[in-house]
């Protein structure tokens, strides 16, 4: 909408329609939108400028009465001044509207901060955007024409060859030119010659085409036979069409993008969790092995462990009396070692049962998420999105995609996922305090021991048992990664229930006292990648 060649034709159209008209007033009815009301004894005109970087545009719109409430007025000094001249800068996207009494409006139609400046005596006296930054300053100057390279280097990309030949060539059209003319296999000199031919066509025999991808193209169809969405007789109508179409699509896209990435993220995490949980039945094999070790040790409880030995070799009653080497703790008796294996067997079985429960729940969640994603992708109108959001708000809140306020939840700490378990990670000392305060007493709390770092919590949904060991070790690795032990090969990490963590009265942010803890040695690793 705002490439240089579009502005050539627009400035001529505005010159024909607006010269001699008086400036009545201008307001901003919406954020980043400015409207000016112009006219003479025979006509009323409305000029619209969009300062949104993604849809910068200037065009005439059909006259309609101005909005009266909640508007801001601009450029009152121009009231009743007549327009004497409208022009485009020689080599840049600045349009100037000059008035009597030697003042003018300068429209900057490019960059990340499009703007309008009221200029008097070569000084900015008012601006549409960021007045505190610009008032009293010199107005921006148009860029000088870049020297056209006489000879282009061979081997540069087609896009670079086009832009070096003509820096003002419309960027959105370049991919179409490259594809249609097969420029990937052309020499730089051939690309230069084509670029100059297309540039002359835009200057001398432009067609005002809106392409299938929504971009405005001035290259005649005979030279660039790309599918048209619509063709216009004059430039203003083409800009107007693209602006309103783009504006609607942008608003709809913004609404969808406030939801879809979160759904996609939850789907990926659910799929990953299901993949992990589906392997939980391997824990039953471990449980059986632990129980057999317990039985074998109990059957030999009358024996003694060799001093300093970490294993016992016993005949395997379950495998034709073949010898089996069983790891043991030399500080415990054989009977105590057997009891240790019975406990490990019971814990493994509990972990499998918990994993099966979570697998069922996660599969249900994934089904809901995929259903939401499919219905969201079918939306192509803003009102359809609003209806969709209203119908699905409760489900989105239950899944954690929306907060109760209807917007994506903004947390004071980072949130992640490990095999289906939600994980919180502190950002700084104050964030650590908030995280520990917000955690439930049965959540699992972690911190790298002896060094500064983030507090980490594994959410347990009020369940008293611990998560599976592989989840604990991954979370501990993540806690070590988010600490000053990150560069170590191994790091000790405190693991405890949140109910055993307290904050001493008057202690600095992030300081805690741990009453009961286990410690695991883990490799610092960002397991959430």
Question: Which is higher by pLDDT, 209 or 285?
Answer: 209
Strands 44-50 and 33-39: antiparallel
Q: What is the tens place of the pLDDT at every residue in 243-255? A: 988 767 767 877 8
Fold topology of 4-134 = ibrinogen binding protein from staphylococcus aureus fold (2.30.310)
pLDDT at 374: 93
Q: What is the tens place of the pLDDT at every residue in 223-266? A: 999 999 999 999 999 999 999 887 677 678 778 888 888 899 88
Question: Which is higher by pLDDT, 493 or 281?
Answer: 493
Cβ contact 208:231 at 8 Å: yes
Ordered by start, the domain boundaries in the chain are 4-134, 158-256, 263-398, 414-522
Distance CA 148, CA 363 (A): 61
pLDDT at residue 330 is higher than 60: yes
How far is residue 477 from each of residues 194, 447, 452, 500, measured CA to CA in Å? 57, 10, 15, 21
Q: What is the tens place of the pLDDT at every residue in 132-150? A: 899 999 999 998 776 665 7
Taking the alpha carbons at both ends of the chain, their separation in whole angstroms is 40
> Beta strands of 177-258 (E only): which ranges?
208-211, 216-217, 228-232
Query: Worst-scoring range by mean pLDDT, 114-128, 307-321, 471-485?
Result: 307-321
pLDDT at 280: 74
Question: Which is higher by pLDDT, 313 or 420?
Answer: 313
Q: What is the tens place of the pLDDT at every residue in 399-438? A: 878 754 434 446 789 988 888 788 999 999 989 999 999 9
CB-based contacts of 419, cutoff 8 Å, min separation 6: 272, 273, 276, 277, 468, 470, 471, 474
pLDDT at 70: 73
Q: What is the tens place of the pLDDT at every residue in 272-288? A: 888 888 887 778 888 88
Q: Is 491 left (phi over 0), alpha (psi -120 to 50) or beta?
A: beta
Instruction: Read off the pTM.
Output: 0.55
Long-range Cβ pairs for the range 384-388 (8 Å, 24+)? 385/252, 385/255, 385/256
207 phi and psi angles, rounded to 5 deg: -115, 140
DSSP state for residue 5 in the 8-state scheme: H
pLDDT at 404: 47
Q: What is the mean pLDDT of residues 106-118?
A: 94
Q: What is the mean pLDDT of residues 105-128?
A: 95
Mean pLDDT of the chain: 90
């Amino acid at each position: 909408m705002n490439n240089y060649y579009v502005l050539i034709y627009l400035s001529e159209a505005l010159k024909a329609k607006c010269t001699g008209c008086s400036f009545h007033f201008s307001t901003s009815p919406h954020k980043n939108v400015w409207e000016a009301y112009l006219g003479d004894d025979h006509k009323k005109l409305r000029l619209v400028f969009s300062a949104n970087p993604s849809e910068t545009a200037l065009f005439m719109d059909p006259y309609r009465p101005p909005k009266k409430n909640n508007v801001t007025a601009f450029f009152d000094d121009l009231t009743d001044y007549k327009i004497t001249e409208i022009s485009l800068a020689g080599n840049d996207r600045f349009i100037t509207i000059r008035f009597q009494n030697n003042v003018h409006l300068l429209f900057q139609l490019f960059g990340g901060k499009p703007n309008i400046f009221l200029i008097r005596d070569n000084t900015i006296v008012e601006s549409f955007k960021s007045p505190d930054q610009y008032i009293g300053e010199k107005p921006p100057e148009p860029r000088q024409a870049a020297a056209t390279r006489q000879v282009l280097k061979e081997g540069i990309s087609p896009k670079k060859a086009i832009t070096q030949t003509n820096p003002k060539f419309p960027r959105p059209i370049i991919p179409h030119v490259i594809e249609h003319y097969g420029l990937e296999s052309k020499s730089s000199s051939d690309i230069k010659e084509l670029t100059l031919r297309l540039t002359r066509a835009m200057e001398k025999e432009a067609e005002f085409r809106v392409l299938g991808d929504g971009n405005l193209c001035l290259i005649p169809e005979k030279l660039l036979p790309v599918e048209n969405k619509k063709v216009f007789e004059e430039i203003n109508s083409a800009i107007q069409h693209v602006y309103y179409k783009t504006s609607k699509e942008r608003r709809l896209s913004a609404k969808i993008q406030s939801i879809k990435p979160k759904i996609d993220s939850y789907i990926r995490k659910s799929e990953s969790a299901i993949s992990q949980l589906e392997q939980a039945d391997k824990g039953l094999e471990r449980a059986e092995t632990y129980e057999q070790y317990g039985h074998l040790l109990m059957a030999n409880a009358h024996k003694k462990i060799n001093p300093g030995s970490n294993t016992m070799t016993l005949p395997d009653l379950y495998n034709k009396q073949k010898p089996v080497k069983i790891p043991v703790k030399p500080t415990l008796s054989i009977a105590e070692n057997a009891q240790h294996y019975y406990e490990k067997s019971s814990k493994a079985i509990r972990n499998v049962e918990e994993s099966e429960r979570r697998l069922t729940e996660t599969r249900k969640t994934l089904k809901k998420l995929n259903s939401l994603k499919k219905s969201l992708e079918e939306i192509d109108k803003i009102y359809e999105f609003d209806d969709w959001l209203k119908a699905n708000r409760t489900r989105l809140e239950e899944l954690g995609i929306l907060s109760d306020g209807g917007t994506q939840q903004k947390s004071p700490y980072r949130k992640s996922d490990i095999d289906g378990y939600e994980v919180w990670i502190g950002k700084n000392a104050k964030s650590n305090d908030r995280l520990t305060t917000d955690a439930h007493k049965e959540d699992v709390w972690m911190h790298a021991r002896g060094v500064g770092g983030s507090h980490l919590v594994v959410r347990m949904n009020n369940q008293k048992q611990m998560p599976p060991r592989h989840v604990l070790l991954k979370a501990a690795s993540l806690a070590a990664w988010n600490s000053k032990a990150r560069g170590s090969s191994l790091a000790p990490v405190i693991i405890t229930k949140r109910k055993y963590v307290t904050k001493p009265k008057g202690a600095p942010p992030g300081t805690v006292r741990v009453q009961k803890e286990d410690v695991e040695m883990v490799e610092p690793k960002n397991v959430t990648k």
